[in-house]
Every structure is written in C-alpha cells, then in structure tokens.
Chain A
Amino acid sequence: MYRYDEFDHQFVRERTNQFRNQADRRLKGDLTEEEFRPLRLMNGLYLQLHAYMLRVAIPYGTLSSRQMRQLAFIADKWDKGYGHFTTRQNIQYNWIKLEETADILDALAEVEMHAIQTSGNCIRNVTTDHWAGAAADEIADPRPVGELLRQWSSLHPEFSFLPRKFKIAVTGAPNDRAAVKVHDIGLRLHKNDRNETGWEVIVGGGLGRTPMIGVTVRDFLPEHELVAYLEAIMRVYNLYGRRDNKYKARIKILVHEIGADKFKSEVEAEYAKRPHASTEVEERELKRIEAYFAPPQLEKLPRWSPGFEEAKLSHPAFARWAKNNLGPHRADGYAIVNISLKPDGGIPGDATSGQMRLMADLSERYSFDELRISHAQNVVLPHVKKDDVFAVWQQLESAGLGAANYGLAGDIIACPGLDYCALATARSIPIAQSISRKFEDSKKQDEIGKLKINISGCINACGHHHVGHIGILGLDKKGEEFYQITLGGSSAENASIGTILGPGFAGHEVADAIETILDTYLKLREPGEEFLAAYRRVGPKPFKEALYAVA
C-alpha cells in the first residue's frame, strides 16, 4: 500500500490546520456561511438534514487494518457508532459537529487519510476495481496509476475550479468492475497486437440528470503518456466546459454539444502542444509508486483446498456463501472474499464500528492487512487462503456480516436518500429494505441469479439507478414520494443506460413491482440466461405487460 512521505504528511497537516482556523473563524462570525461553504466542502464537510456530514476519501478504495480501525474509532468518538460506505468507495459519517471536525481530520491524518477531493468542483477521489491486485482476469493492478493520478490531481492549481466536479475511474481488467464508461474519464488498460499495454481513454460518461455512456477518445494511449494526455483533456474541458448552467457543466455535455470528433481533435491539438514529449518523469514516478503496491508474498498453494471443500460439504450455509461471495483470485489456493454489507432488510453500505474492527482484524490476520471498499458498498478481503475461508466466514457470520447475497437481488446499491440527504427527493433505504425482505428467501435469490438493483433518492443518481439492471429513482410528486423503474442498465464493459418502464409507483408498491418483473423474467428466460441478457433479448414489452396490464 502507498505510504505517505514527509511531503504528504506535511501537506495534509497543513491542510487540517488551515481548516481548523477556517472553522474557528466561521464559529466566531468572521466568515459568513456563503464564504465558508466552499471551504468546508473542499474538506468533505456537508450540511445535511440532521447534522453535518463528513465524507472521507478512501483513495482507490484501499484501506489497511489500521486505517479501518481509525474509521471505527471516529465513528465511536465523534459520530453514532457507524459509518456509511458510499458508491464512490468512500465513507461518510452522518452526525458530525462543525466544532469537532478539525479534530476528526487530525485523527484521519494520523493514519494517512483526509477528506480532500470528496467534494467541490475539482478532480474527485479516483476510483478503481475493488478486486485490484487480486483479480484473476487482471492485466495489471490499476492502483499505482490511481495513486499517481491522486498525487497529480490533489489541489492541482489549474484544476481546482473546474466548471463542475470531475470523476475518474481506472480498471486494469477486461471485465469492468469500476464502471469506467460512466465516469467523466474512464481508463481501461488493455493490450494491443504487439502485446504492449496501453489505455483506452473514455471521456464524457456520467449519470445524474443527463446519463451518458462515455466515448473513446483514444483507443490505445501508450502506458506512460497518461498524465500529459489527461492534462490535455482537462484543459479542453476547463476552457470550453459551460459555466453558465450548473446542469450543463459536466464534461459529458461538452462532448455531446461539440461532438465527439471535434472534442477529440481539440484534445489532440492540446496534447500536441505539451512542452515535453518525454515520458521519463511519469515512468520514474510510477515506478516509485509501484514499489508500494508490490504484490503480497503469496504462498505457492495447490488449487484444491481439502479443508475448504470439506467445510462446504458439511455446512450448506457456508457452501452457499462461498458460491456467491468468493471471487476468482489470480493465485491458486487463494480467494477474494466479498463481504456483503447488505444483510436482509438492512441498510446498504452501513457498518457499525464493531463490524469495522472485525473486518480490520480479519484483514490483518488473513488478507495481508488489506481491505477494499467497492462502489457497490461492500467490503473486500482481497487475498484470503482458501484454507482460511471457512474461519473467516464463521467470524463474519457471528458479526452479522455473513449475508450470502453478493451480486444477487439482495445486494442492492442505495444512496442515503431522504432519510439523511438534503438533496434527496425521496427515501432510498426503505425501498432497498423492502425489496431485500421480499427476496429474503435464499432459494429464490439464487434462482434469479446475478442481478443489480440500484436505487437513487434523487435525479443526481448517487445510487447509480441508470446503470442498474433494475434501476429505481425516487421522486417527489406534490409532496409524496414516488418511484420510477428503469430496466436494462449496466455499468460493466457492455454499459448501457436503463429505459423507464412506465408510470411510477408509490413506495409500498415498489417491492411487489420488482417481484412481478423478476417472476416475468423467470418465466421467459432461456437456460442460464441472466436477467440483463434476457431483457436485452426480449425488450421491455413483456415486463410492461406484466406490470401494467391488470391495472
């Protein structure tokens, strides 16, 4: 994992001290709210419905056990004993006091963490594949590049006042788990015919009120030209991106308005103007960073673990969990353990301080001290020996973390919604809970198979509803919550934006509607056909008929 050097430490300490001073001036009345608001936002501090909310950056979703324990400590000392893992691999605390925030930032700095890049019109915390460094299908670990981009973009003077926020996602694997096509910039590592690695650079994807799939501006950018090329993209955006209308200010609108070809030629022209064509600096810097991400010392193990197989035979509940929650590791004898933060009827992404500590302990003991947060609001132990998986599961089970629904109907993405968020128009969490309870029957969930249900409580789409196989958007209709259902979205390599199925539903009707959709799917699917594939084959018609015909 990356470790701060003296410069990083000093940088974060100075930033925390600066915020302490700003908060003091606000509390004394020397700063108005209007003056203070952008300052607190640049430090991740929002004002929500019940209190302040602090969003803490988890760069590329990677945590050590020490950092996870500190997150638990913060939850206990300054919040109400829990935290919420977000759809951008971050964590947020819901009950924060302004007068204590600087102390929290100090506590974060102790473990090389901060809340920079979690708000404001800057380049936000870079996200990656939550299986980075462990996945069997990976070409290279994307996190060194994530760190390189973090260092490049953090408080970058030229890119601190962009037209709007800017999100970059990186994947080093062909199976896209980082949703790169729906980010402002998505980076996908791949190989050309000569077996060289390079980047597909995708620009102008995004969700929110104008969902769009990004366009490829470079199919194969040589590996070490990344920073200079991204700089060219940022310059074009900074210059031409609209500042007159907040809703038209994202780069996707620019790409759409001037057209992908014109945008590409602007970027290439800007790129050609770079002062140095040499990639030496980037190569050297990336090499330095890569040393921190050296792969853990994995043992040479047989693929087959008798202990693991026996445990599955003697414990059906474990066998089911293992089938759903383990990911294929690149090394024989190891597995990626996906801890679902979606217990039946629970709050997606919430973890208590006790659960955080347990996950920290498990990572320390069984997974080379590494944890990952996924954008689907789950936690990953990336390198667990198959021999140890049963022991890990038993401890997860005893802490309420044994949900065996990873990637299934119960593994729902949901934003905090109107229960917490000042921007929300409707609640998300209770909808997730009602659906989760509806599919508590594990047999039915297993029968349905791979499914992504994503729920947002407003059009800003933090719950990624447009790219859910089933998406649910909560809106306000004359003071009442109602919910629109979309089908056919995907954030994977075959990304697509879902289509609205028809008129919306009241909150208490949503879970039944989802059940009708899924029963329809079960009836029409071909053997082995997943929900998304079936929907793409048959289109919305049968689902519409099932949902709206009787009414």
Chain B
Amino acid sequence: MTMPEKGQLVTANRLRDGIAVFLTRSGQWSEIIDDAALALEPQAAAALEARARDDEKATLVTGAYLIDAERLGGRVRAAHIRERMRALGPTVRLDLGKQAEGKGAGFGAPEGV
C-alpha cells in the first residue's frame, strides 16, 4: 500500500478578493490545494514561507502561514478540518466555493453531520 507523503504547505488569502490560495512549486499561487508545493523537510518549508513573505510585500497575498498536509497520488489533503474547509468551501453549501467551481481537491470530501 502506498503511504501518503506528509509535510507542510503554505496557504494565504489573495489580497484583492480574499480567496484562499496555495503556494505552488513554480512560485505561483493556486486556488487548488492539489497544486501546492509540499515541503517534506523543515528547510524546504522555511524556503516556501520566505517566498510567501515576499509575495505579501508584493501585495499578492496576505496572512500566509504553513499548514500540515499529506499528498497521495497527486492529491493533497490538509490535516486540519479548518484548512480542508478553506480548500473546498462551506460544507453546508456544496453549491458554493471551490468545491462548486471545480477547484476542490480530490481529497477530503466534506463530511456531514
């Protein structure tokens, strides 16, 4: 059985519209968490974070931070429910947000109550 890779990625909100975005390997910001660069080592995580700080200064994003996540078969899943929410949209309005715009990740479908 393939084990997921565990690491950290950087997320932020895009400054102009507040949409949750994720830092990719090429240094772009994607709305899709599956595109995120997953740092497997602390140094790599620090490098991602440093890049994000530059983009904060460049007014692309605001409030960047590292989150725990795992990747399996190209899909990325945030460890905490709060971040899964940001990656998908509200669980009570499946017709809204990334999940409705084809930008939801393949992982972590919203869990109901």
- Residues on A facing B (Cβ under 8 Å): 26-29, 33, 47-52, 80, 95-99, 347, 418-420, 424, 427, 429-431, 433-434, 479-481, 507-508, 510
Contacts and interface: CB of A to CB of B under 8 A. Distances in A.
B17 A97 contact: yes
A433 B112 CA distance: 10
Interface stretch (B2-10, B32-40, B44-52, B91-99): B91-99
A430 B62 contact: no
Interface of B: 13, 15-20, 56-59, 62-63, 79-82, 85-86, 89-93, 96-97, 112-113
A97 B86 CA distance: 16
Nearest to B16: A99
A39 to B, nearest CB: 14
A431 B92 CA distance: 10
A47 B82 contact: no
B18 A29 contact: no
B81 A479 contact: yes
B16 to A, nearest CB: 5
Of A50, A95, A419, A420, the most chain B CB neighbours within 10 A belong to A50
A419 B19 contact: no
Contacts of B63: 33, 47
Given A418-B82, A430-B112, A507-B113, A50 B15 contact: no
21 contacts: A26-B15, A28-B59, A49-B82, A51-B13, A51-B17, A51-B18, A51-B19, A97-B16, A98-B18, A99-B16, A347-B92, A347-B93, A419-B92, A427-B113, A429-B92, A430-B91, A430-B113, A433-B92, A479-B80, A480-B81, A507-B113
Nearest to B95: A80
B6 to A, nearest CB: 14
Contacts of B57: 29
Nearest to B83: A49
Given A29-B57, A430-B112, A434-B113, A50 B92 contact: no
A27 B58 CA distance: 9
A418 B113 CA distance: 13
B82 A33 contact: no
A433 B17 contact: no
Contacts of B82: 49, 418, 424
Contacts, number: 79
Nearest to A36: B62
B92 A430 contact: yes
Contacts of A420: 90
Nearest to A33: B62
Nearest to A53: B18
A53 B65 CA distance: 20
Given A33-B62, A507-B113, A49 B86 contact: yes
A343 to B, nearest CB: 13
Of B20, B56, B62, the most chain A CB neighbours within 10 A belong to B62
Q: Which 5 A-B pairs have the closest CB atoms?
A: A419-B90, A430-B113, A97-B17, A51-B18, A52-B18
A48 B82 CA distance: 11
B86 to A, nearest CB: 5
Contacts of A28: 59
A434 B112 CA distance: 10
Nearest to A429: B92
A419 B90 CA distance: 5
Contacts of B91: 419, 427, 430
B7 to A, nearest CB: 17
B15 A27 contact: yes
Given A28-B59, A49-B85, A98 B16 contact: yes
A345 B19 CA distance: 28
A349 to B, nearest CB: 12
Contacts of A29: 57-59
A28 to B, nearest CB: 7
Contacts of A95: 96
A98 B15 contact: yes
Contacts of A430: 91-92, 112-113
A101 to B, nearest CB: 10
A98 B59 contact: no
Contacts of A431: 113
A481 B63 CA distance: 24
Contacts of B92: 347, 419, 427, 429-430, 433
Contacts of A418: 81-82, 85
